[in-house]
Chains A and B, each alone.
Chain A
Amino acid sequence: MWKFFHQLASPPHFYRLAAVLSPWLAAPGIALIAYGVYAGLFLAPMDYQQGDAFRIIYVHVPSAYLSMMAYMIMAVSGGIGLIWRIKLSHAVAAAAAPLGAAFTFLALATGSIWGRPMWGTWWEWGDPRLTSELILLFLYFGYMALRAAIDDTAKADKASAVLALVGVVNVVIVHYSVEWWSSLHQGQTLMKKGGPAMDPAMLYPLLAMILGFTLLFGSLLLRRVRTEVLFRERRTRWVREMILSPEGS
């Protein structure tokens, strides 16, 4: 078991493994998304309150879920890097940030587009879910800016890991904001006690989209971590040998 983790944390091993795994995550991810888009747009019945505008949840919910998951990956990886000094985990944290920012932007944008016909406004500053999600986007920007501002990679890793860990508080706030405070945003639907409060015809495409987005995110993350590993290891012997070998990358 430990040998497996030890091997996985080895940059050359991970670099090769990620190249193999990335397409294997992307292919089922794309298939699930294709099913989710088709079933969500054309097979799922219309919502009796929101009409067809409810179909926006098929892209909004997976994006919002990934915006938090990417942050947790970033923070946990940063924490592992700080405690156990595993170089690969800092690479994972650095690679997760731009993807997390992209999905957070997507969650905010699709939520805002949904809010216009449903709430009659693009944005509501008093809403805790919206505001905490916007703070999450700023945390991603701050994390990336901090990394870019420090030339020494080791120092950038440490400083950004501390920032990521502090920001976890905001992820908890994003998740529970609809329960803790009065919010325009609807409450928990999927993770509700007693099971999801959705018709199966609406639920299955949503679950397919969430799983598909997660697999696609995993594939993109592996690609980005590969690049981060390559950059960090650019002066090592294994990179030199790989570049000079006839097979290349």
Chain B
Amino acid sequence: MDAMSMGNYGVYVWSCFGLTLVMVLFSYWRARLRHKRVYRDIEVRIKALEERE
């Protein structure tokens, strides 16, 4: 319980750590998603070109 309340600063302390976790996970997810999208777009374009040739 003490760890949660953090001497009555629990809301401030835990919200900072929570926000940091969310931002780091979001940054990782965005980087992963963008790579997948770029890769897929290039793959579709190259395979379409291959079929045409």
Give the B-binding residues of A (Cβ under 8 A): 37, 41-42, 46, 51-53, 55-56, 58-60, 63, 98-99, 102-103, 105-106, 109-110, 113-114, 116-117, 216, 220, 223-224, 226-227, 230-231, 234, 239-240, 243-244, 249
Give the A-binding residues of B (Cβ under 8 A): 3, 6-10, 12-13, 15-17, 19-20, 23-24, 26-28, 30-32, 34-35, 38-39, 42-43, 45-47, 50
Which of B19, B27, B47 is in CB contact (< 8 Å) with A99? B27
Tally A-B pairs: CB < 8 A: 91
Whether A230 pairs with B38 at a CB distance below 8 angstroms is yes
Whether A239 pairs with B42 at a CB distance below 8 angstroms is yes
Which of A60, A106, A240 is in CB contact (< 8 Å) with B23? A106
Query: What A residues does B32 contact at CB under 8 A?
Result: 223
Whether B46 pairs with A223 at a CB distance below 8 angstroms is no
What's the nearest-Cβ distance from chain A to residue B37, in Å? 9
Known: A114-B16, A230-B42. A51 touches B9 (CB 8 A): yes
What's the nearest-Cβ distance from chain B to residue A217, in Å? 9
Whether B6 pairs with A52 at a CB distance below 8 angstroms is yes
Whether A60 pairs with B16 at a CB distance below 8 angstroms is yes
Whether B19 pairs with A109 at a CB distance below 8 angstroms is yes
Whether A59 pairs with B12 at a CB distance below 8 angstroms is no
Known: A105-B23, A223-B31. A59 touches B42 (CB 8 A): no
Query: What A residues does B12 contact at CB under 8 A?
Result: 53, 56, 113-114, 116-117
What's the nearest-Cβ distance from chain A to residue B19, in Å? 6
What's the nearest-Cβ distance from chain B to residue A123, in Å? 15
Query: What B residues does A223 contact at CB under 8 A?
Result: 28, 31-32, 35
Known: A41-B13, A230-B38; 20 extra A-B contacts, CB below 8 A, are A37-B17, A51-B8, A52-B9, A53-B9, A55-B6, A56-B12, A59-B17, A60-B16, A98-B27, A102-B23, A106-B23, A113-B19, A116-B12, A117-B12, A223-B31, A230-B42, A231-B42, A240-B46, A243-B43, A249-B39
